[in-house]
Structure 1
Amino acid sequence: MWGIQPLILQTIGGKTSNQQMGMSLGALIFSIGVLFFHQPVWSWHLILASFVCGLAWAFGQITQIESFHIIGVSAAMPISTGMQLIGVTLFGIFYFHEWTSTMDYVYGISALIVIILGVFFTAYREKGDNSGKQGAMQRGLFVLVLSTIGQVTYNVIPRMADLNGWDVLFPARNRYGNRCNGF
């Protein structure tokens, strides 16, 4: 459902701040519902990582929503997705050292080149485009770069904080002290 979110936001309409507030309230309601099934095991480590992660998410989302208003969803989403894939991949390569073999580099660099070409062709405008559209595209790309910083940060913080997916989504332990891996 995450990929359809921009289309829903544009269909519903509203200002950027209203759309962000709606998404945040939806996430809060979902989280409160989860508390009925999973009681979290709170730690300062989890709280701090979650707080920083939430700040990065909020920044990334509000700037991404703003880019939808500037250049439209059909132009912003492929560029945003491509930049996020590139950013997270670069973190995986240089910070987490996930590429270890020659074939990792061959396949990975090939995939990154395809993604970069896709982003370039999505962002490319013909020379005949008027300067107003070109100015909007430049502003939209700048806002998308800011969004990407937030979105990539949001994605790598859990890994940097050594939290697994269940820690991030549903931090809980069962009555025996073991981690729960589902409902």
Structure 2
Amino acid sequence: MNAAILLALLPALFWGSVGLISTKMGGSAAQQTLGMTFGALLFGLGTMFFFVMPRGIYLGKEIWVVGILSGLVWAVGMAFQFLMFKQMGVSIGMPLSTAAQIIMNAVMAATVLGEWINIKMWLVGIISIALVVFGATLISLPDKKSEKKAESALNGKGLLYLVISTLGFMLYFVLPNFLSKIEYIKPSIKAANNGIDYMTAIVGPQAIGQVVGALLIAILIFREQKVMFAAPTWRNILTGLTWALGNIFMFISTAAPSIGQTIATTFSQLGIIVGTFGGIYILHEKKSSGQMRNILIGTALVIIGALIIGNIHSFA
């Protein structure tokens, strides 16, 4: 396994831990989202002042537009994912969120970004995504005793939160590459240092967009302005720092020619394994023997599907 693939797997470790850490840190969805953005801001500004600027990496207005836009839509995705976790639990919510994101990101990367260039790549891509989605579905299946409760969550608020969260995350993933594809970002800026400079430069402005988005959501949607700076918000800075590490590795992997958008986003969603088993063994979300069997089979399918899509360029 080469270094680029290993790098692309790191976001799964960090992002898979986000739901676990935020649950431990406590707080409302607004407090968790806002705390996360503060952590992301610390990391983003550190990256900008101590890496991007000293190296003379381009930080013009286009970079700020791309970064802030992706940060704003991320805030929407994250806030509604936290609401989904509260509705369904991490061990059910994470697999469903994973499946939805993999489908949307792969479709966008394959069609809008044009990463799948022939019939073989489309066939392999569809099969691998189907394996991941089927595996994620198995992982999230409720047992018979809790089936009615789970169905209520999925058919009501839980499903709405899932849709909104998925759309927010999809735009966050795709915007940087889409805006470079239509040459809002000049090819020379995008190509510098194999794309790493461009993706690294985005991190600081993106963090500012995340904070602005989280503040607007906390005030206008959740109406929690009186408690949005309470203790849980500050505790969730740790959640944000964890997320930020996964974010920068994800963006670097996306820029790598041997990885690309589809592989990077699919690999990043392997955090389902961390989130699911963490929810069971760390957060003590109870599962029946039948559910555990489905979880093990589903996990194997997710890994197989991700490994296949990780080699999709060999079918070009």
1:145 alignment partner AA? V
Q: Is structure 2 residue 38 aligned with structure 1 residue 20?
A: no
Please list, as runs of the form range in 1=range in 2, the aligned pairs for 1:102-113 lying within 5 A after superposition: 102-113=119-130
Show the 5 A alignment for 1:146-165.
146-162=164-180, 163=190, 164-165=195-196
The letter for the 2-side match of 1:57 is W
1:168 partner letter: M
Match of 1:137, SS state, is: helix
**Shift, 1:10, TM fit:** 0.7
After superposition, the Cα gap between the structure-2 partners of 1:73 and 1:126, relative to the gap in structure 1 and judged at 3 Å, is closer
Give the counterpart letter for 2:171 in structure 1: T
Q: CA deviation at 1:133?
A: 3.6
Shift of 1:124: 3.7
Separation of aligned partners in 1, 2:149 and 2:124:
39
Which runs of no fewer than 5 residues in structure 2 stay unpaired?
A: 1-13, 181-189, 203-251, 253-316
* Higher helix fraction (1 or 2): 2
> Are 1:50 and 1:168, in contact at CA under 8 Å, matched by a contact in 2?
no
How large is the Cα RMSD of the aligned pairs?
2.1
CA distance in structure 2 between the aligned counterparts of 1:90 and 1:156, rounded to whole angstroms: 11
Q: Could you tell me how far apart the structure 2 residues matched to 1:150 and 1:144 are?
A: 10
Q: What is the correspondence of 1:82-101 to structure 2 with a 5 Å cutoff?
A: 82-101=99-118
Match of 1:135 among 152, 175, 182: 152
- Preserved contact between residue 92 and residue 141 of structure 2 (Cα < 8 Å): no
1:174 corresponds in structure 2 to none
1:91-122 Cα offsets, whole Å, 9 max, x none, are: 11211222122221221111121122123334
Q: Which has the higher contact order (CA 8 A, sep 6+)?
A: 2
C-alpha distance in 2 between matches for 1:158 and 1:137? 31
Question: What are structure 1's unaligned runs of at least 5 residues?
Answer: 172-180
Cross-structure match for 2:19: 6
C-alpha contact (below 8 Å) 1:53/1:153 kept by paired residues: yes
User: When the two structures are superposed, what TM-score results if normalisation uses the length of structure 2?
Assistant: 0.50
Gap change, CA 1:118 and 1:46, over 3 Å in 2: same
1:18–1:122 distance in 2 versus 1, CA, 3 Å: same
* Contact 2:95/2:139 (<8 A) preserved: yes
Change (3 A) 1:7 1:101: same
The size of the alignment, in residue pairs, is 172
Q: Distance in 2 between matches of 1:165 and 1:70?
A: 37
CA displacement at 1:148 relative to structure 2: 0.8
TM-score normalized by the length of structure 1: 0.83
